[in-house]
Amino acid sequence: MAFVDQLIAFLRDGIAAIFRFVEIVWTWSIEQIRAVPWGNLGELHILEQILLVVVAGVVIYLLYRAARELFDAAQNALAAFATLLGAIVRTLAPALIAGLTAAAGAWIINNVSF
């Protein structure tokens, strides 16, 4: 049992570390996007304006790709959860019959003399 507890703790710590890393990357990226002088378009030289428009296009495209990936993953997770719930419901009848069979067997063994 100690091995299972250690394995679960290891998995929990690993998953937590992954989420912390993801949070750090997203936070840093958002800070960098906010640091771009988006409101100063009229005050910049033409080459800087062109660069700002290109940067905006790339940022929008990459954020769209990230959002699309998260949306697709959420759809897959929801479908997997629905499949899991369906499997759980389908196993209720066999589990109930197994329990009833065990209860009947135990009653017969304990109460019937052979």
| pLDDT-based confidence at residue 88 (cuts at 50, 70, 90) | very high
Tell me, rounded to whole angstroms, the distance of Cα 51 from its chain centroid. 36
The CA distance from 33 to 27, in Å, is 10
Q: What's the pLDDT at 113?
A: 86
Give pLDDT tens digits for 18-68.
999 999 999 999 999 999 998 887 888 999 999 999 999 999 999 999 999
Closest alpha carbon to 51 in 66, 36, 31, 29: 36
The CA distance from 57 to 63, in Å, is 10
Segments making up each domain of the chain, as ranges: 1-35, 40-114
49 close to 41: Cβ distance less than 8 angstroms: yes
